[in-house]
Amino acid sequence: MTTAQPLDFQAPAPSPLALLLLGREADPKSERGVECPGDLPAPSDPDLVERARAAKAKLGDKVFVLGHHYQRDEVIEFADVTGDSFKLARDAAARPDAEYIVFCGVHFMAESADILTTAGQQVVLPDLAAGCSMADMATAEQVAECWDVLTEAGVADVTVPVSYMNSSADIKAFTGKHGGTICTSSNAERALNWAFEQGEKILFLPDQHLGRNTAVRDMGMSLDDCVLYNPHKPGGGLTAEQLRGAKMILWRGHCSVHGRFSLDSVNDVRERIPGVNVLVHPECRHEVVAAADYVGSTEYIIKTLEAAPAGSKWAIGTELNLVRRLANRFAGEGKEIVFLDKTVCFCSTMNRIDLPHLVWALESLAAGKVVNRIEVDPEVAAFSKLALERMLALP
Ligand code: 13P
Ligand code: SF4
């Protein structure tokens, strides 16, 4: 069900090529895996929608398709459920009867689904190259080295790791092993509160912005309570004294998509559209979040717009597939929704899952062939599960 673009949705100008190319090449070291090996149908095939429908019908209850809110419309159309990272993790765990979980999202989400589902279930990512550049910013080796630095500074014993869902299974396993929890953008404050009951400091991985925004905006800490650990510098670029004085040790990672929004974007839109409400994702930089009216996960963004009165105006700072879909959906209700930035801001790796990849994955499953299975090493999975279950049990 593709809807026409409403007249009042201003499509932003194209962004620099580099951003669009993110995730295009094969990179075996990346969390995102390698190029998709599949024999894909041509994007121009006029029967793709029909083929996806037929394969899904043939599979029936054997398959459960999950779709993250940043997925393309053509993919969302075939999702049994849509959600933010937290909701999708819960939904995957709640379907033990489905033999195949087709995850339309990115690699770390499919890994989490594999960890949370039963041994008999198989998780499929329609394109193995759909990863997350933020998750790639913290490798297992770098995090182990960081823990050594914290140990030398005498603070590891009182530090609890809290890792954003947007991290590899290895990082989740490290977190579980060291008594920490996973969080998403919808429960980060609860995760930090829990962690501060277990220890004195938090090592927050890998998104510095979510960590800082939650600590400062939501929990009233000061910017001085936070230090930034740079994995590319010896000792993280911090002294033992700085580590001892900090409450939040933030990993120097970020989302390149949300990094596009700036304070200028907020000021510009307020000038252009008087009375506009600025609603942004907490992966945005601190000055953007501080200047916004509302901040929350993709699910929160949708709920806020659902509850908004007719005639209200909104500038949204998150990925463009979602913003465009919401602008289309709410145009008929007289809610004006614009994109916060002036240039295109798709998540190119989320965008890798398109209809040809989905058709290929579904038709292969329907023919009895499991393709692009995401399978986490059992030891890594056991420790990751510990951390994920701590998150699912958060009060
Ligand atoms: P949520 O959907 O959990 O808000 O996360 C956004 C995101 O960046 C997923 O990669
Ligand atoms: Fe990763 Fe950012 Fe894309 Fe989310 S939007 S999957 S954090 S690169």
Q: pLDDT digits over 160-215, tens only?
A: 999 999 999 999 999 999 999 999 999 999 999 999 999 999 999 999 999 999 99
The residue out of 254, 274, 292 marking a domain boundary is 254
Ligand 1 pocket, Cβ-based, cut-off 6 angstroms: 69, 84-86, 132, 166, 184-185, 255, 281, 283, 297-298
Question: Which domain range does residue 211 map to?
Answer: 135-254
Contact 283/319 with Cβ under 8 angstroms? no
Predicted local distance difference test score (pLDDT) of residue 345: 79
211 belongs to a structural domain: yes
143 and 201 fall within a common domain: yes
Closest CA to 279 of 307, 253, 240, 256: 307
Predicted local distance difference test score (pLDDT) of residue 10: 55
In this model, does residue 17 exceed pLDDT 80?
Answer: no
Instruction: Compare 353 and 17 and report the one with higher pLDDT.
Output: 353
Which residue type sits at 3?
Answer: T
Ligand 1 pocket test: pick from 69, 76, 82, 84 the residue with the most ligand atoms within 8 Å of its Cβ: 84
Q: Atom of ligand 2 at shortest distance to CA of 257?
A: 2
The first and second tokens of residue 338, run together, are 């614009």
Residues 6+ positions from 272 with CB-CB distance below 8 Å: none
167 and 204 fall within a common domain: yes
221 CA → ligand 2 middle, Å: 26
Atom 3, ligand 2: which residue's CA is nearest?
A: 347
What's the structural domain count of the chain? 3
Cis preceding-peptide flag for 206 (omega within 30 of 0): yes
334 and 367 fall within a common domain: no
73 and 171 fall within a common domain: no
Predicted local distance difference test score (pLDDT) of residue 6: 36
288 and 362 fall within a common domain: no
Angle at 331 between CA 325 and CA 336, to 5 degrees: 95
* Average pLDDT for 311-329: 96
Average pLDDT for the chain:
91
In this model, does residue 240 exceed pLDDT 80?
Answer: yes
184 CA → ligand 1 middle, Å: 8
88 belongs to a structural domain: yes
323 CA → ligand 2 middle, Å: 15
- What's the CA gap between 247 and 228, in Å, rounded? 11
Predicted local distance difference test score (pLDDT) of residue 370: 96
181 and 269 fall within a common domain: no
The tens digit of pLDDT for each residue in 87-146 reads 998 899 899 999 999 999 999 999 999 999 999 999 999 999 999 999 999 999 999 999
Predicted local distance difference test score (pLDDT) of residue 38: 65
145 CA → ligand 2 middle, Å: 25
In this model, does residue 20 exceed pLDDT 60?
Answer: no
Sole residue written with tokens 């929704």: 337
Sole residue written with tokens 């404050």: 189
87 and 154 fall within a common domain: no
For residue 348, give the ligand nearest its CA.
Answer: 2
240 CA → ligand 2 middle, Å: 32
83 and 140 fall within a common domain: no
